[in-house]
Chain A
Amino acid sequence: MPEKIPRSVAVLSSVPLNLLLNGVLIIPFIIMIYLAFIKWSPLMGIEWWRAPFAGISNFQRAFSDSRFIDSLGRTVLFTAIVVPLEFFIGLILAYILQKPIKGRKYLISILIYPLMLPPVVVATVFYLFFQPYGPVNNIFLRYIMGPSALDIYWFLNPSLAFITIIIADVWQWTPFMFLILYSGLSAVPRRLVEAAEVLGASGWTIFWRIRLPLIRQLIMVALILRSLEAFKVFDYIYVMTGGGPGTSTESVSLYIYRLAILYSDISYAAAVSLIVLVIILLVSRFAIRFLLERR
């Protein structure tokens, strides 16, 4: 491409984006940063811009807040489990559906259905699912375990509760991975696939050595985007376990939500959010560099 970027492209590729992001998000973001450095809560009865300055006390409080740190670790664990799980299942499904099967369009429509529901609804459904009177205990486990299945209280056991969250997330978001991988695989030029065919390559070889390497960038994008979202997990925990039993399934997002809405501790919540933001920033910067290097 020419060295110098044409005027039209230069304008179109930066101006609209800047307008949008700066116009909509910058000011609220700055407000949020400001909130983290003051001592304010709506319960105090004064306007937020009149609230006293607090320096870094909010941040200091966060570092010794064990509930915060626990939630952080838990969320990391959650992300580390669901993302690879969703990726591999999505990959397998993308591989399978590459083959021209009859009714493929319908199958794909079914497989991506979970994406069409608001996460809250999915959370509600799975909440009902895992109730003692719900189908999981009464129908599925009954077959395997007999009547004792009715005594399993999914939400009263920390590990089981954690598993239900994972199941909900995997159910809803595996299709995301699948869809990105599938569309990427479909976009690989037909000629390259044919060239491999005439050289004797089987379907598996073509998938593994031709298609997959060519969508490496897309795979990284999918992993990064999904990881960012998984880290913010909220709906399932809020509806299904309420963070419980106790705070054993509380994610970072839920904790922040509680601070801001339940305890009205907005300044502290803002500070915690910023800390989380910085952590995610650093980790993703590192991860992107690492993944990009392996070209």
Chain B
Amino acid sequence: MVRNYISNILLWLILVVAIIWTLIPVIWMISLSFKPYGEWRTPSLLPQKPTLDNYIMLFWPKSASVFIAYTALLEPITDSLIRSLIVSVLATLIAVIIGFFTAYGASRYNSPGPFTLFFTLLTRMLPPATFVTPIVIYYTTLNLLDNIIGLVLLYSATTVTYAIWILKGFIDAIPVEWEEAALIEGAKPLQVIFRVVIPLARPGLVVSGLFVFLMSWTELLFALVLTRINITLPVQISMYVTAVGALWGVQAAAALLGSLIPMIVGYLIQRHLITGFTFGLVRG
């Protein structure tokens, strides 16, 4: 049918445009990361004298020739990378687990009630700038400054609302009858949760987990303020471009490197997204 054909082509076109649109800045970043110091301000797509110097700067700062143009000392990027990984993973675990149980209670038993749920959104409503001073004061007294635990707690607290709201959406869509049937058959509520609900809520767990992970992985403002020595990846990335010296190419390299881990995570979780669960057990 012609109508089908035309709409198919149109859709393909949109998809291709979207892919290209997404890739252009990325390609440019990649090219920037291979450009030497002098070419950072040129518009050319490909570097004329491609170099690995930016990447060398990431791991062995003192050996990089671009280091000469930079007056501040900078550590290799591996430390902050690992730190970011630890922080993000821990924050994700905490936020998703707490978020899941909260969402479950809210969905099935209305506890917490809609008021509390709305209240959790408060954590996302506040412009972060003014929260900085109070949290610094608070963490100073708790001795949580420059501390991974401090960041983990802050990140989980500020992202848990994402997990709650997204998971509630997914849990609401699961038919209650299955849990009721299991309960009638004598299963304990916790067993029902683990055997029935969690497998079915997998797309929700995975999506909210991914978002929390990404938000923790890329968070800059509080990390900047709350850490001095134990910096996370975004902080280090931002440090390549400061008032003292702007190492665009190095920053591009750092950002690309830093995006590898989330990329891998994003790719791996996809098989959990395409479940499309079926009612009932599969029969012959």
Contact = CB atoms under 8 A, between A and B. Distances in A.
Q: Classify A-B as touching or not with yes or no (CB < 8 A).
A: yes
Contacts of B251: 121, 124
Nearest to A285: B118
Contacts of A24: 153-154, 156-157
A229 B162 CA distance: 11
B128 to A, nearest CB: 7
Contact of A21 (B18, B123, B183, B277): B123
Contact of B112 (A6, A17, A93, A273): A17
Nearest to A194: B278
Interface in B157-193: 157-158, 160, 162, 164-166, 168-170, 172-173, 176, 179-180, 183, 188-190, 193
A281 B122 contact: yes
Contacts, number: 300
Contacts of A215: 169, 173
Given A1-B109, A218-B169, A232 B127 contact: yes
B237 A118 contact: yes
A190 B270 CA distance: 18
A125 B25 contact: yes
B49 interface: no
Nearest to A27: B138
Which among A21, A92, A176 has the greatest number of chain B C-beta atoms within 10 A?
A21
Q: Which of A32, A122, A175, A214 counts the most B-chain CB atoms under 10 A from its CB?
A: A32
B77 interface: no
Contacts of B97: 16
Contacts of A157: none
Interface of A: 1-2, 5-6, 8-10, 12-14, 16-17, 20-21, 23-25, 27-29, 31-32, 35, 48, 89, 92-93, 95-97, 105-122, 124-126, 128-129, 131, 133-135, 137-139, 171, 175-176, 179-180, 182-184, 186-191, 193, 214-215, 217-218, 221, 224-225, 228-229, 232, 234-235, 252-253, 256-257, 259-261, 266, 269-270, 272-273, 276-277, 280-281, 284-285, 288
B15 A133 contact: no
Interface residues of B, number: 108
B78 interface: no
A12 B126 contact: no
B184 to A, nearest CB: 10
Given A111-B18, A124-B251, A189-B277, A183 B206 contact: yes
Nearest to A261: B129
A113 B207 contact: no
A186 B274 contact: yes
A281 B120 CA distance: 11
A233 B151 CA distance: 22
Contacts of A176: 211
A113 B270 contact: no
B214 A20 contact: no
B273 interface: yes
A17 B190 contact: no
B266 A257 contact: no
Given A13-B106, A29-B134, A117-B259, A284 B125 contact: yes
Contact of A105 (B101, B130, B234, B267): B267
A89 B57 CA distance: 38
A280 B118 CA distance: 12
Interface string B242-277: 000000100110010011001100110011011111
